[in-house]
Amino acid sequence: MTLDPAQTTAVLPFAPLVAALREAVLGLARQEIASPPRQVVPMPGGGLLLSMLATAPDLCVHKLVSVVPGNRAHGLPTIQGRVQVLDAATGAFRLALDGATVTGRRTAAMSMLGIAALHSEPPGTVLLVGTGTQAAQHAVALRAIYPGVRLEVLGRTPDASRRFATEHNAWGPIEAIGSTADSRAQVVVTCTTSRVPVYDLPADAGRLLVAVGSFSPAAAEIGAATVRASHCVVDDPDGARHEAGDLILASTDWHAVQSLAAVLESGCSPAGPVLFKTVGCAAWDLAAARVALDTRALSRAPGRSQAG
């Protein structure tokens, strides 16, 4: 069974996905999940081809996706691909999910997990920097996990910000702002493809920064001075050392960088300004596969309507 984007969205509700990601973060740290470094191969047209694998006692997954930033100018998706889900015991094919949808939803769900672990209380206002698909996924995730949250958006241009605010206000108003200095947010999420900082305000103990847009060592969404003044937490420590450009370009002391798994295990949020940097890994796709299979199984239980 191969699910299209709408069907993939339907089997990945955010609340179960956040819970599954928490277990996957801890499982990866305990070596219950194997997730080798992803392969990144340049494409002739200027994009990247990504191959990501993960195995666990129950499932194996392989995600193959293309990332072509130039596609937006042609009205095409930036990310395209598939997540293949296999039974770990037999290797039998179980399911195929839309790769871009899985990436978008598990990335947004990881941000929700980070906010819950690293912010002292549910945020009243969240600023989304960026107006693309990832910002849209975060808007949906925030409405699902934090009903009533006030959302702000900052795009490359005022028109882009206003257009995003209009297109994604179905579950509540979104305010388009003119600069990061205009924001009243307790949490800022950067979801851009920018190679230069889009946020460089001084680090603030009352504001959690979540950087999700860049996975290149040569790109940084957060200014170096802000990074150096923050306590840095990463989703995948191994991947971050090679892909977290925000930290790499700021010459971060990796001995001081904390894993999200360590925060979850301790149950204590770091003090002072915090930057949560995510680069993603196939273990998070495996978590999404678990949720998708569970959701489909529940939909087929007696008295339930089938989904997808």
Domains for the chain: give ranges and CATH numbers: 5-102+283-299 (3.30.1780.10), 117-280 (3.40.50.720)
Q: Is 115 exposed, middle or buried (0-12, 13-18, 19+ CB in 10 A)?
A: buried
**Percent of the chain residues past pLDDT 90, beyond the cut:** 87
Q: Is 200 exposed, middle or buried (0-12, 13-18, 19+ CB in 10 A)?
A: middle
Is the pLDDT assigned to residue 198 strictly greater than 70? Answer: yes
Is the pLDDT assigned to residue 30 strictly greater than 80? Answer: yes
Is the pLDDT assigned to residue 66 strictly greater than 60? Answer: yes
Please tell me the predicted confidence (pLDDT) of residue 70: 86
Measured in whole angstroms, how far is the alpha carbon of residue 169 from the centre of its chain?
Answer: 21
- Mean pLDDT for the chain? 94
Please tell me the predicted confidence (pLDDT) of residue 73: 85
Please tell me the predicted confidence (pLDDT) of residue 306: 40
Measured in whole angstroms, how far is the alpha carbon of residue 39 from the centre of its chain?
Answer: 19
Q: In the chain, where does DSSP find H-type helix? A: 5-10, 14-29, 99-118, 133-145, 158-167, 224-228, 237-243, 245-248, 260-266, 282-299
At how many degrees (to 10) do helices 133-145 and 99-118 cross? 50
**Percent of the chain residues past pLDDT 70, beyond the cut:** 98
Is the pLDDT assigned to residue 308 strictly greater than 50? Answer: no
Q: Residues 129-139: what's their mean pLDDT?
A: 96
In whole angstroms, give the CA distance from residue 276 to residue 209.
6
Task: Encode burial over 260-272: b for 16+ CB neighbours within 10 A, e otherwise.
Answer: bbebbeeeeebee
Position with higher pLDDT, 259 vs 169: 259
Q: Residues 58-66: what's their mean pLDDT?
A: 97
pLDDT grade for 31, boundaries at 50, 70 and 90: very high
Q: Residues 203-225: what's their mean pLDDT?
A: 95
Please tell me the predicted confidence (pLDDT) of residue 304: 53
pLDDT grade for 171, boundaries at 50, 70 and 90: confident
Please tell me the predicted confidence (pLDDT) of residue 197: 97
Please tell me the predicted confidence (pLDDT) of residue 299: 85
pLDDT grade for 307, boundaries at 50, 70 and 90: very low
